[in-house]
Structures are given as structure tokens and as C-alpha cells.
Structure 1
Amino acid sequence: MANPLQLAIGFETTAGLKPENQDAVNYVLPEGQVLENKGAAAVLADGVSISEAARQASHTAVQSFLEDFYSTPETWSTKNACQQVITAINSWLYKQGSSEAVDLKGWVTTFDAIVFKSNTAYLFHVGDARIYRLRQGELQQLTKDHTAWMSKQRSYLSRALGVDTSLQIDFRTEIIEPGDVFLMTSDGVHEFVSEDQMTAILQSSLSETDRAKKLVALALSQQSADNLTAQVITVLKLPSQTEEELFQKLLALPLPPELEPGMKIDGYKIVQEISVTPRSQIYLAEDVETGQSLVLKTPSANYSDDPWYLDGFVREEWLGQKLKHPGLMKTYQRTRPKTFLYFTSEFIQGKTLSQWMHDNPQPSLDSVRELVKQMASALRALHRLDIIHQDLKPDNIMIDCSGRVKIIDFGAVHVASLAETATVLQRQHPEGTLNYTAPEYLLGEPGSNRSDMFSLVVITYQMLTGALPYKEKRINPFSLRRYQDLQYLSARQCRADLPEWLDLVLKKGCAPNPLQRFALLSEFTANLFKPDDVFLKKRDFKPLLERNPTAFWQGVSAFLLFLLVLQWFLLV
């Protein structure tokens, strides 16, 4: 971002009148790319005093969260990353507290975290510590205490880390504004300081640390006998970037000239042209220093004034360096300064799936199963990283000389972490290629892992039959009003040798409505190999005319003959 998110954070924590401080508090305020990709995090934990390892539990939770959160994949959404980390911490605390090898029993603590990313605050809450927000003079409590009351005088904590193997985490998001002040407190503070007093202190001109100290001191003076912790976070400035600034950033490097065999660019020698499309040029190149063969991809000059396309091109290089699955194309990190906009990736010797289908017009079910299994495995690897491919099609799938599948071209992917960042870019049309694009995109709805499943099943259908499961869409943009407008065409119309259960599996996998598809890719592939009983028993109703035309017309003739005979008897 041209102007990054700016926060001011300070805290105060003390044991108060108790001999030991069982509260823990801290924050991380990174800079640069880490702040843009992951955000800033503020955490507070209040160890439950009746557990023997209350202090150890709270400090472990805070330290582990701040370390592990910034170690999660850069592609994960904030919600996914935080929930995964908090759940792992909870499991570890529970095992510690119940282990015979550990002297201290009960590693239990409350837990609150706020992650500030772009223009959003992500709140995670377990227990009875609190998060408040002061906006334009109004203080609002954003969390609900997880406390169960046994009587007017007695209550107990109903939710905390380390109590059980399962954990329910309260989660919410809040759009932040400049001037917002967030306050995190342990019960030693908020049970002894009124909201009016909090508001007065938070509105003062003191620094964040001094405001936190003043809140703690006030709670102590008002008879708090517990540990006391307060953390104050002020939003100073939101990240901002104009479209022109983004465009200039994307075009910091000029587009390369039209390349020809023998030409050199930044130490890469062009060997031959592999393909040219309206969106890009792809060349086989050789690293002059190492002799390594690789692919060099350049953006098309047709899109030189399209920020969304250029952003996707840059994103494709970044993403390809994060992927480790053998079924996903890898891009290479630069080893020399670049003078033009391009990227390099592994060279895959083989053919596209489109060419494979041309060469294998009626493949065996087993050969299709093997390729689909590899494609599904690669897609699941993307989905585990919170990534949706969005443009799966035969031309974006390579099969190397050993029969290994590689999914390529990540220019249209949806990366959950990047989607959380506010952008001036506007998407004008759904990603993907029309006949393989999930219907929910055409209806303007968000995609999901099931959207990639739709594309995969359409490809599976096409591999088996050479046709598409829905009437081919030739007009772009294609207009779709409702899911019911798409009518599935039976695969058995193209290949009568395919079993009926397979047709039913394909029909479910590419159902127009995503809620009617398989929930998981693994369900689809499992049924492709060994169908559930429901597919073996189920049969779609077909009219007699379709099932047995001869019997249908014989029946019609017999009925007409009966009517004629009946009429003759009535007239006689």
C-alpha cells in the first residue's frame, strides 16, 4: 500500500494485590509486506486462578499465538489462520493440564485477540476478558462474557482455553475508521471501572500506554483485588492507494518487447515460442548461467492498461512460489534484477489435457479416474491454502511424459488473504472460461471449493464423452438468471457403455446449485472409484418413450384400438 495502516498500541499489566500476575498481554505491529499480508495483532489472556498453571497457560497462549499466527501460510484468511492457531493452542494446553508427566494440573486461560488488517478488525474471543471500541464518543462492548450464573452471587466461567479438546471461538469483524480506539481488559479492570470512566480516560490526550496505566490505577483505587491488564489500540490512519498509484506500481517494470528465438532478456535466452494467446506469451527459455530449461511468461500488450489483469499476472508469480504440491506448477524466485515485467516457471514436457482428449477420444474409465484423482489432489492442496483456482479447464492442465498431472495458470485464482485487503480494483466479470465456469459466478455469487469441483467434474465428463454436460455457451458474457435454467445432458447419450451410476455421480458433481454438489472433492473421487449405494440403487425416472419407444407406440396403438372398439359397441 502507498500509505500503510497506522496504529498506536500500549498496555499495562500488574499483579495488583495478588502475589502473582496470571494475566498476559502483548502485540505485534509489523511493517511493510507483513503488515499488508498478515496485519497487526494484539492479544490478552487471563489465566484462570483455580487452575494450578494459570500463569503458564496465559503466557503460553499469548506467546504461541503471536509466533504461530505469523508463521501460517500467507494465503490463509485471517479467520482460518487464527482459528487454526487458537485451536492448536487449546489442544496443547488441555494435554498439558491432563498429563501425568506434568506436575501442575489445569492449564486454563481466557483468550482475546484482535487482528487489524487493511480496513478491518478481526476479533476472536473466549472467556470473560473484554474488547471495547470507542468511536465518536460512544463506547461499545464488542464481546460477550462466557459466564454462567448459578445464582445472583455465584457464577462460573463457561468457556476457556485448556478446559476441553473441543473449543468454540466467538468471531466477528468490524470495519475500522480513523480515530477508533479499541480497549482490551481483564476482569480485574472492567469489573471495577465504569464505562463512563473508561470513556473519559480513552478520550484523553494521553499516550496509549499512559491511558492503559490510568485505567489499571483507577481499578486498583476502586478496590480491585485481582490481576489487572489493559491494552489500548488507536487507529491513526487507514491504508490507502489510488488506482493511479496502484497502476504505477504494477507498471514499475515495462512490458517486454516481442521476443524471438535467440534473443536474450535478463540472462535468459529465448529458445522457442510455446504459445501465444490474447492474454499472454509463453516461451521456452534457457538460463544462460545454469543451462536450466524453463518457461518465461510475459503479459500481453492487449492488457497493458488493465490494472486487474496486471495485478493477477504479478499475483501468479507470487503464488507459484508458495506452492509445494507436485501437481501444481511452480514459479521461480528471481536471481537477477529484472528489467521487464515477466516471470519464469518450471518447464513441463508433455501435452495439455485438451491435446490428450484429442488423442484419446474414447478413453477407458480407469485412465480417466487416474488423471482425475491427480487433479483433485492438486486442487485439494490449493484449497488447504485457502485458494480457489477459478479457471480450471483442459488448456490449464498439463500431463508430463510420465503421466503426471500439473495444474498451471494461476492468474485468476482467489486467495483468501489477498481478498481481505481493500483494493481500488473493480472486477467487471467472473473469472474463468465460460463452459467450465461454475454457475454461481455467472449469477454474481461468491465462489467456493465447490466451484472448482464443478469445473473438475465438467472436465471429467468431457474426458469420458468428448462433450459438455450442459448446452455449450457460445456468447460471452453468458446471461444466467437461475440455476434451473441449466439442464444436465446425460453422459450416456454420448457413450451408452458408461454405467448409469457414473452418470449420476457426474450429474451430482456438476449440479448447477453448489449446495447440491458433493460437499468435498474427496467425496467425488471416492464415488468415481467406488460408488455409494445411493448411486447404485437410484435411477432417474425416464419416460417410456425414451426407455422403450417401440413399447410406447404399441401401447398407444392398443389404447386407440380400445377406444375404437368401445365406440363401436356404444353405437351398436
Structure 2
Amino acid sequence: MSRIDSGAATHVGRRPNNEDSYCQKPELGFFAVADGLGGHEGGEVASQLVLSTVADFLTSQEGQPQPATPVPAELSGGAESLIVRAVRLAHHEVHVRQSGRLSMMASTITAVLLSAGDAVVCNLGDSRTFLVRGGLLRRLTRDHTVLAEMEEAGLDTSNPFALMHRNSLTGAVGMEASVDPECCRVTVQPGDVLVLASDGLYEPVSPEVMVPLLAKGGSAQEMAERLVAEAYDRGGTDNITGIVVRVLENG
């Protein structure tokens, strides 16, 4: 695994409570951001439950041989299979606890699992992971929202329906009939910066703003705090959460 420096920050924004959660497990090469939904209590419980379930599963599987599991053919690689199994388990755990005040809870997840010089990126919902390399930002995830599906279908997204449902999720951990998480694998190299963000971070902080903020340097923790502060200063009303992972020279 590449040598890394990571940092994370979160802010309640202008909301009464913070339904975002984040997880850093550098020893596993695992990093994730989750944005909960389902009401005041449900969102907080869901995001924390999803990340703790995934992290605990990955910890339990560390160094263990991985049995064949029914994952899509394109996800048959070890790390991809592992994180899909972990998210499926989290999906089950959320479902088990959906009752009373928690009956509508669910959560997005965007996660990175570093494996043999690669980053396996897993996503479900509208939290995002970005790769910044050589001053250029590349988005590694696809949103699971009504708006994203309309855009992919080539439909008009300027009509009232699209505007009303622009943030409506079509997939989330714990959501009924939700799709499996999507995964991709990218090779990482020294100098790369990975940014995991809830929508409360990336909506106020566009790529044109994010890249120069990261270029100011400092530790990954300083970078994460800088991004979150910028989102708040730009009027962000949602919870704001980000993780920054810097890939360093081995040595």
C-alpha cells in the first residue's frame, strides 16, 4: 500500500444536527464519508451505523482468504468484492433497525479502499470521491439521484420536476430496492490527492475552487479543514464533511 497522509473535518453547517459521518482507518487503507437521511435521529444513526459496520467487517477480514461471493463479474477482484460485501452487510444492518423513529433511515456512502497501489472507490448515493492530479480534478463517482438519471437519459433537466427532485436519491444504503454500490479502480501515484465529500461540501465548493485550495498545501488535515471552512463561508446550509488523502513518496 502507498504511504499516505490523511485528514478529515466535519461541520454541522446551518442545520440543527449533523447527520454526516466519516471514517478513517489508515491501517486498512480505508476511508469513507456517509450522509444520513431519515429525520433528526435517523440520519445520524444511519450514517454512523453504515460506517461502523463496513469498517468492522473490513477489520475482521484483514489477512483472511476471501471466498467466492456472488458479486457482479466486473467486481470480481478482491478489494472490490470485499467492499461490496461490506456495504451489503451495512444495508442489512440498517434494514434490521428500521422501526419507529428510525423507520425511514438510510445513508449514502462514498469510500476508498487502497490496495496494492490502486484505489478502489465505492459509492452509493450522492456523496462523491474526487482525484486531483497535476492540478486537474477528476470525479470518480456517479450520483444515484433522479437528476443524474435524467441527465444520463438525455432528458430536459430544466423543468420543474427535475428542479424539485434534483437531490432525490435513487440509491442509498438501507433504501428499499436500492441498487448495489458502484465500484471502480484507479491507480494512484505520489502527489495524488483523493477527496471524499458529502454534498454539503462539494456543492458550495466547485472544482474551480477546490483545486487551488488544495494547492495551498499543508497536511491532509489542514486541507480537509480548509475545504470545510470554505464551504461554510460560501453559505453552505447542509452538513459539511470531507476527507483528504494525500499519496506520498515511499521512503
Report TM bin, short chain: 0.7 to 0.9
Match of 2:118 among 117, 120, 123: 120
Structure 1 counterpart of 2:235, one-letter code: Q
1:14, distance to aligned residue in structure 2 (A): 1.3
- Equivalent residue, structure 2, for 1:144: 142
- How many angstroms does 1:41 deviate by? 0.3
Give the Å deviation of 1:151: 2.0
Letter paired with 1:47: G
Give the C-alpha shift of residue 154 in structure 1.
3.1
SS of equivalent to 1:219: helix
Whether contact under 8 Å (2:53, 2:89) holds in the other structure is no
- Which residue of structure 2 lines up, in the alignment, with residue 133 of structure 1? 131
**Aligned partners of 1:43 and 1:27: how far apart in 2?**
7
Counterpart in 1 of 2:58?
A: 69
SS of aligned partner of 2:102: coil
2-structure distance, mates of 1:81, 1:117: 11
Q: Distance in 2 between matches of 1:237 and 1:113?
A: 23
The amino acid of 1:151's aligned partner reads A
Q: Give per-residue Cα distances to partners, 1:340-396, cap 9 Å, x unaligned.
A: xxxxxxxxxxxxxxxxxxxxxxxxxxxxxxxxxxxxxxxxxxxxxxxxxxxxxxxxx
Contact 1:90–1:165 (Cα < 8 Å) also in 2: no
Corresponding letter in the other structure for 2:118: T
Q: Distance in 1 between matches of 2:162 and 2:101?
A: 34
Does the alignment pair 1:163 with 2:175?
A: yes
Between the aligned residues of both structures, percent identity stands at 25
Matches within 5 A, 1:92-103: 92-97=93-98, 99=99, 102-103=100-101
- Indicate the residue corresponding to 2:196 in structure 1: 184
Amino acid at match of 1:148: V
Deviations 1:76-120 (Å, cap 9, x if unpaired)? Answer: 2111111111101101212211x4xx5432221001110012211
Tell me the TM-score normalised to structure 1 length. Answer: 0.38
Q: Deviations over 1:407-450 (max 9, x none)?
A: xxxxxxxxxxxxxxxxxxxxxxxxxxxxxxxxxxxxxxxxxxxx
CA RMSD of aligned residues (A): 1.8
Distance 1:183 1:25 in 2: 12
Question: In structure 2, what residue type is equivalent to 1:147?
Answer: T
Match of 1:15 among 9, 12, 16: 12
Contact 1:119 1:238 in 2 (8 A): no
Q: Is 2:80 aligned against 1:82?
A: no
**Structure 2 counterpart of 1:200:** 212
Q: What is the aligned partner in structure 1 of residue 234 from structure 2?
A: 222
Q: How many Å separate the matches in 1 of 2:102 and 2:176?
A: 17
Q: How does 1:286-305 map to 2 (within 5 A)?
A: none
SS at match of 1:78: helix
CA shift at 1:181, angstroms?
0.2
Between structures 1 and 2, the one with greater strand share: 2
Give, in whole Å, the separation in 2 of the partners of 1:125 and 1:65.
13
The one-letter code of the counterpart of 2:81 is: N
Equivalents in 2 of 1:62, 1:196: separation in Å?
30
Give every structure 1 segment of 4 or more consecutive aligned residues whose post-TM-superposition deviation is greater than 4 Å. 49-52
CA distance, structure 2, for counterparts of residue 152 and residue 56 of structure 1:
29
Q: Which amino acid aligns with 1:21?
A: N
- 2:42 and 2:101 in contact (8 A); partners too: no
Where 1:47 maps in the other structure, the secondary structure is strand
The total of aligned residue pairs comes to 225
Unpaired runs of at least 5, structure 2? 67-77, 148-160
CA–CA separation in structure 1 for the residues paired with 2:101 and 2:205: 37
Q: Residue 70 of structure 1 aligns to a residue in which SS?
A: helix
Is the 2:39–2:105 Cα contact (8 Å) retained in structure 1? Answer: no
> What is the letter of the counterpart of residue 16 of structure 1?
G
Matched, 1:236 2:248: yes
Q: Which has the higher contact order (CA 8 A, sep 6+)?
A: 2
State the shift of 1:166 in Å: 5.2
Q: Distance in 2 between matches of 1:152 and 1:40?
A: 38
Matches of 1:59 and 1:29, distance apart in 2: 18
Is the alpha carbon distance of 1:63 and 1:205 closer, same or farther for their aligned partners in structure 2, counting shifts above 3 Å?
same
Partner of 2:30: 41
Letter in 2 for 1:66: A
What do the CA deviations read for 1:435-471 (whole angstroms, capped 9, x no partner)? xxxxxxxxxxxxxxxxxxxxxxxxxxxxxxxxxxxxx
Is contact 2:38–2:102 with CA below 8 Å preserved after alignment?
Answer: no
